[in-house]
Amino acid sequence: MHQELSTHDAINFVIETQKSLVGFYQSAASLVENAAGRRIFDRLADETRNRLTHYYHLHYGDGTVEYDSFMASPMLGDSAMQHELNHKLTRDMNDHQAREFAMREELDIERRLKLYAGHVINPVAREILRQAAEETGRHAQIIESEYAHTMGMVHETDINTFVRE
């Protein structure tokens, strides 16, 4: 079913989605006792916060004081993310497991944003959701690339070494 969504509402939806993801990563970092896993979640929270900043400034303008208080306000926890966090996160999760965990979450958000965009009539709002999905997908690819590299798998930067003509 198609729905009308304003540009303002689309940006707000992306902001809330990204803010939930920041909260998810911050919660994960506070729960994981393994230092390497905690560092991964802290870094992912920072990277997601940087993406969120772009949408926040589109929506609210450039007021840094307002942004700081917005980020300090409680995160709206996505219940699916919280369920995943509560049931699959382990305190001894290492950096490899943290990346796997994060990849799944980012890919799920990308899928949900694309699905939502497909039902939006307003072309500007649909494009905002599509771009947010692409950014989330690129972030998931970066996490996947780091994971492959740290696991000793063939990394895309090494691919020419293994290609034979």
pLDDT digits (tens, 9 = 90+) for 104-145: 889 999 999 999 999 999 999 999 999 999 999 998 888 888
> CATH no. for residue 140?
1.20.1260
Kindly state whether residue 2 falls inside one of the protein's structural domains: no
Give the Cα separation of 74 and 142 in Å (integer).
28
Structure-block tokens of residue 148: 């492959």
Domain presence at residue 128? yes
* 164, part of any domain: no
Q: In terms of pTM, does the model score above 0.75?
A: yes
On whether residue 104 sits in a domain, the answer given is: yes
| Residue 119 within any structural domain of the chain | yes
> Which secondary structure element, helix H or strand E, spans residue 12, and what is its range?
helix 7-31
Kindly state whether residue 136 falls inside one of the protein's structural domains: yes
- Phi–psi pair at 152, nearest 5 degrees: 80, 15
Supply the DSSP symbol for 121. Answer: -
> Residue 44 belongs to what domain range?
7-158
Is there a domain that residue 107 lies in? yes
Residue 100 has pLDDT above 90, yes or no: no
Q: Lowest-pLDDT range, 4-8, 13-17, 27-31, 150-154?
A: 150-154
**Sign of the Cα pseudo-torsion (26, 32, 36, 37, in order):** negative
- Is 50 exceeded by the pLDDT of residue 164? no
In angstroms, the Cα distances linking 146 to 1, 11, 40, 42 are: 38, 29, 11, 15
Structural domain count, the chain: 1
